[in-house]
Structure 1
Amino acid sequence: MDANVFSKANILFDHDSQTQEEAFHAIAGHVNKLGYADSVDSFFAGLMNREKETTTGFKNGIAIPHSNDASVKRPGLFVIKFDHQIEWNALDKKPVQVAIALSIPQEGSKEHLRLLSEIARKLMDEDFTKIILENDDPDILAQAINEI
């Protein structure tokens, strides 16, 4: 994984969001704070609009929310681990414990599709999924993400 796209700073642990909307606010704030997007509100709206198209809840407690609105300055991957499960309308109808979020510049849609595909494929690997769900060591999580 390109260091400009992901670093340990992109990981949030034990976030206390109670709802999907609160989770999206937290993600948008973190993406903005790290300089991947110019506007919290615009990135948040992009996440919400994407979710209206179809759920980003994958399976096994993991979601892949993403936004490619005009506020995105550069591609990024973020891991947000919640301190409890959040209802998400996931494909498997189970709540979400971890979000692997993406910021996608509007001109980078092909890269976005490739990265989404690679993440989805990696999430089929039970060992990878177990690390993402159960590990709170930022070094181990970063190592797992960097293998995408």
Structure 2
Amino acid sequence: MNVNFKLLPEAVATARLDSKGDVLQRVADIFADVYGIDANGALEGLEEREALGSTGFGRGVAIPHARSTQVNRPVVVLLRLEQPVDFRAADGMPVDLVFGLLSPENAGATHLHALAAISRLARDEAMHEKLAEAQNAEALFALISDQLDRDAA
């Protein structure tokens, strides 16, 4: 599988947040800090997509995503929450693992492939447990990087 998104070590964080809105704001802020994307624009895109239906897809995972004119390839933020937050996920479970995704405005299939790759990663039971148990952001990044390297091989 060809990994078609970019995840930088600085784009992986842990946080204690109180609401879905706080989570989306933090994801947008990380996009801004790490990838140089306008935080307000990122937040607006994420909120617009969330208004269509929750991006919480179950088992404590959410993938808020949007399209942006500010990126030329899909970019990802990974946020592990110290305390689960209600995301109105399909299974009713609160979310503690958030993969934010921004893709280029015209990246139809590329955007869907990035979503699918993240979804596969998050659905892997062993990986899900390791991400939940990782001590810090560096350990989270190492786990994801190792898995993406294996998938690319």
Superposed pair shares fold, TM > 0.5: yes
Give the Cα separation in 2 of the matches to 1:22 and 1:73: 26
* RMSD (Å) for aligned C-alpha atoms: 1.9
* Amino acid across the alignment from 1:23: V
After alignment, is 99-108 or 115-124 more displaced? 115-124
Unaligned runs of 5+ in 2: none
* Amino acid across the alignment from 1:124: R
Matched, 1:19 2:19: yes
Matched, 1:126 2:125: yes
- Give the drift of 1:91: 1.2
Q: Which runs of 4+ in 1 moved over 4 A?
A: 145-148
Alignment of 1:26-105 (within 5 A): 26-37=26-37, 39-105=38-104
Given that 2:131 and 2:143 are in contact with CA atoms closer than 8 Å, whether structure 1 keeps it comes out as no
TM-score (norm 1): 0.87
Unaligned runs of 5+ in 1: none
Q: Call closer, same or farther: CA 1:73–1:118 in 2, change over 3 Å.
A: closer
Hey, what does 1:106 align to over in structure 2? 105
After alignment, is 132-141 or 55-64 more displaced? 132-141
Identity %: 21
Alignment: residue pair count: 145
Give the Cα separation in 2 of the matches to 1:80 and 1:67: 16
- Give the drift of 1:113: 0.3
> Which secondary structure does the structure 1 equivalent of 2:57 belong to?
coil
